[in-house]
Amino acid sequence: MNEHAYSVSTVVDLRLLEVDIDTMFVMSATGLIERENDPDRSSGPRVFFTGCPFGNLTRVRYDLDDDVTMRILEVAAKEPPWRDPDAMPACAEKIVELLSDGQPADVSTALIYQLPNGLRNEHPGAIVRGDSEEGRQMLARLAERGMPDYMQTAGFKGVGDFWEPWCVALDGNEIAAMAFAARLGVSGAEIGVYTFPNYRGRGLAAAVTAAWSSMPSLNQHVLFYSTHKSNRSSRRVTARLALRLIGTSFRIG
């Protein structure tokens, strides 16, 4: 992937990245990261940096030393716009040094795509939406009987792990793949997608992604699809659905 991937971008993409930040994190009144905007109330990264050919955005966590925060923001402000998703910004290494506390820094990168509302994707599998009567009955059965072993192994321990709004793809009576709101903000929503191991390679991730983008409760939200650069299966979904890359990010835990 290279600069050509941004050929249809506009300066609006920088504003979209701002919406994505506000979707992913709970921010303080002074613009600091308080935590992840997820039902689990996860701790946010110490530093989040995102950019596109039209500029970069940097956010830091509330509990960093004030002097370290100032120096990080100064270093980040000097970084040219992030044009090449395959090249890490030079400021990343400098920021890691500023955060150094004798422990290895956990740095992860992601590609950020805009997910259009109301996508269509033809697939023979049955889709069940959480806002349907069938979806409500499905959750009631799972609450009564417990989650199947294969779902618990994947980390879905109970019906509380169906983060609304959600939809699933079925194989017979079994849930084969699911899409849910990994982050849900006032004006944006970021999708989470999971295909269970026995059902991978069948196009189900693209099917539930498209179905999720068409849910009425998301009509007034800007939708985002983010994936780690190394996640080939997830990137195949973006290619299958022709999603547009709007930016790249790195976070330091």
pLDDT along the chain (253 residues), means of 10: 47 94 97 96 97 97 96 98 96 94 82 97 91 97 96 96 97 96 98 97 96 97 95 94 97 95
Question: Quick one: tokens of 152?
Answer: 């618990």
103/170 same-domain check: no
Using DSSP bridges, classify how beta strands 166-171 and 126-129 pair: parallel, antiparallel or unpaired.
antiparallel
The per-residue pLDDT for 222 is: 98
91/171 same-domain check: no
164/141 same-domain check: yes
14/104 same-domain check: yes
In a domain? residue 239? no
Q: At a CB cut-off of 8 Å and minimum separation 6, what does 215 contact?
A: 129, 131, 165, 167
Q: At a CB cut-off of 8 Å and minimum separation 6, what does 122 contact?
A: none
Question: Which one-letter amino acid corresponds to residue 149?
Answer: D
211/155 same-domain check: yes
User: How many structural domains is the chain composed of?
Assistant: 2
In a domain? residue 13? yes
Question: Which one-letter amino acid corresponds to residue 154?
Answer: A
33/98 same-domain check: yes
137/84 same-domain check: no
The per-residue pLDDT for 9 is: 54
* 114 and 224 Cβ atoms separated by less than 8 Å: yes
In a domain? residue 107? yes
Task: Give the Cα separation of 205 and 237 in Å (integer).
Answer: 7
86/109 same-domain check: yes
- Give the DSSP letter of residue 141: H
The per-residue pLDDT for 2 is: 42
Task: Give the Cα separation of 250 and 48 in Å (integer).
Answer: 6
Q: Give residue 185's domain range.
A: 126-220
34/94 same-domain check: yes
* 214 and 132 Cβ atoms separated by less than 8 Å: no
Residue 206 φ then ψ, to 5°: -65, -35
What pTM was estimated for this model as a whole?
Answer: 0.92
66/137 same-domain check: no
* 30 and 233 Cβ atoms separated by less than 8 Å: no
Question: Which one-letter amino acid corresponds to residue 5?
Answer: A
The per-residue pLDDT for 102 is: 61
Question: Quick one: tokens of 128?
Answer: 């069940």
